[in-house]
């Protein structure tokens, strides 16, 4: 397994593969890998075959965090990540630094020689995570565009846990004609149903026990709409109440929408997508499910 930290070296490697017709599968991550990430790696391998190459990027992208968010304390453990990647049969781990990705980042805010190009998605990114974190998706689309240009993958695999992110990326790829097939792989869950996430590490024992409330809320909503459609307003109120069962939890948002267009629905029925964000203590968790 090769570890590449320079953007130019990553792109050179990718261009050499391209010239030789080697298929490339790509899993972009922020590191602190868990079984969910490894399932994305397996999915990527399935898509490109044993003669293909798998690239995992490990990069905590500053442009997708607001100044008030958890960038500085986002969990990191590169040594462990590298071992997991090696064991998973990854070919290249790309671990760029901030100054590799954003030359002159923060060096001089007034200088016209610093970074100034962004990729913006202006529709699907407006609700939910985009409303709660206004500059988040601009950072995501920009860094993913950069990574695609550096890794030149045929296939890239994203996790369904970040449902809206996957939708925004698919829209970006279609709109800007990136020659990349986007695969969205199912959310992996702990035994009690909590969606796997690097941020689960922040939870203390009590919070961890109560964090399962997101999964239970999704299941409760599924049950509710199984027989007949329910008004979204009504169900939101019921779920807000439902979540008070976990005293450490505080609902940020819950939304019901079309899984393709992300258009909000007034009537929630089977097949409607539900997504929610909940603070458990100081940790903000998200989850989603097709009801």
Give the residue numbers marked as catalytic: 37
The least CB distance from residue 240 to a copy of itself, in Å, is 26
Given a contact cutoff of 8 angstroms between Cβ atoms, the answer to whether 159 and 31 are in contact is: no
By CB under 8 A, name the one of 26, 158, 163, 178 that touches a copy of itself. 178
Q: Which is nearer to a copy of itself, 77 or 114 (CB)?
A: 114
**Lookup result for tokens 């970040």:** 162
Q: Which is nearer to a copy of itself, 36 or 139 (CB)?
A: 139
By CB under 8 A, name the one of 2, 5, 15, 245 that touches a copy of itself. 15
The least CB distance from residue 158 to a copy of itself, in Å, is 16
Instruction: Identify the CA nearest to 220 among candidates 279, 162, 276.
Output: 276
Q: Which is nearer to a copy of itself, 49 or 260 (CB)?
A: 260
The least CB distance from residue 120 to a copy of itself, in Å, is 5
261 binds a copy of itself (CB under 8 A): yes
141 binds a copy of itself (CB under 8 A): yes
Only segment of 156-164, 210-218, 261-269, 270-278 that touches a copy of itself (CB under 8 A): 261-269
Q: Supply 51's token pair.
A: 């003669």
How is residue 109 annotated by DSSP? T
182 binds a copy of itself (CB under 8 A): no
Interface with a copy of itself (CB under 8 A), residue total: 42
The least CB distance from residue 48 to a copy of itself, in Å, is 14
CA distance 62 to 45: 28
241 binds a copy of itself (CB under 8 A): no
CA distance 200 to 203: 6
Q: Which is nearer to a copy of itself, 68 or 177 (CB)?
A: 177
Site for a copy of itself in 78-117 (CB under 8 A): 103, 111-117
Backbone angles phi, psi at 137, to 5 degrees: -70, -30
Strands 230-231 and 267-268 come out as antiparallel
By CB under 8 A, name the one of 66, 78, 120, 131 that touches a copy of itself. 120
**Longest Cα pair distance anywhere in the chain, in angstroms?**
60
Instruction: Identify the CA nearest to 180 among candidates 69, 33, 14.
Output: 14
CA distance 291 to 278: 18
Only segment of 13-21, 25-33, 187-195, 232-240 that touches a copy of itself (CB under 8 A): 13-21
| Long-range CB pairs of 127-134, under 8 A, 24+ apart, other chains included | 127/164, 127/255, 127/257, 127/262, 127/264, 128/164, 128/253, 128/255, 128/275, 128/277, 129/162, 129/164, 129/165, 129/277, 129/286, 130/164, 131/253, 132/252, 132/253, 132/277, 133/66, 133/69, 134/66
175 binds a copy of itself (CB under 8 A): yes
Binding residues for a copy of itself, per CB under 8 A? 7, 11, 14-15, 18-21, 103, 111-124, 141-142, 145-146, 149-150, 152, 171-172, 174-179, 260-263
């Amino acid at each position: 397994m090769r570890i590449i930290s320079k953007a130019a070296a990553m792109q050179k490697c990718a261009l050499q593969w391209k010239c030789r017709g080697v298929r490339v599968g790509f899993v972009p991550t922020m590191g602190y890998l868990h079984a969910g990430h490894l399932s994305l790696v397996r999915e990527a391998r399935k898509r490109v075959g044993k003669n293909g190459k798998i690239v995992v990027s490990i990069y905590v992208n500053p442009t997708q965090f607001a100044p008030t968010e958890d960038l500085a304390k986002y969990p990191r453990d590169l040594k462990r990540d590298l071992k997991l990647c090696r064991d998973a049969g990854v070919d290249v781990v790309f671990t760029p630094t901030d100054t590799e990705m954003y030359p002159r980042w923060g060096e001089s805010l007034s200088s016209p020689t610093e970074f100034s190009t962004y990729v913006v998605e202006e529709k699907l990114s407006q609700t939910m995570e985009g409303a709660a974190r206004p500059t988040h998706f601009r950072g995501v689309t920009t860094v993913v565009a950069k990574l695609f240009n550096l890794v030149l993958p045929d296939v890239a695999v994203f996790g369904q846990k970040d449902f809206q992110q996957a939708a925004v990326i698919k829209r970006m790829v279609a709109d800007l004609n990136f020659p990349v097939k986007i695969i969205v792989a199912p959310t992996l869950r702990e035994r009690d149903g909590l969606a796997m996430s690097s941020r689960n590490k922040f939870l203390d024992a009590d919070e961890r026990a109560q964090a399962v409330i997101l999964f239970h809320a999704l299941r409760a909503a599924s049950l509710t709409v199984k027989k007949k459609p329910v008004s979204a307003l009504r169900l939101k109120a019921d779920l807000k109440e439902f979540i008070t069962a976990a005293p450490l939890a505080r609902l940020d948002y819950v939304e019901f929408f079309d899984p393709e267009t992300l258009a909000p629905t007034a009537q929630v029925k089977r097949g409607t997508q539900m997504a929610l964000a909940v603070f458990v203590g100081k940790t903000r968790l998200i989850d989603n499910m097709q009801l």
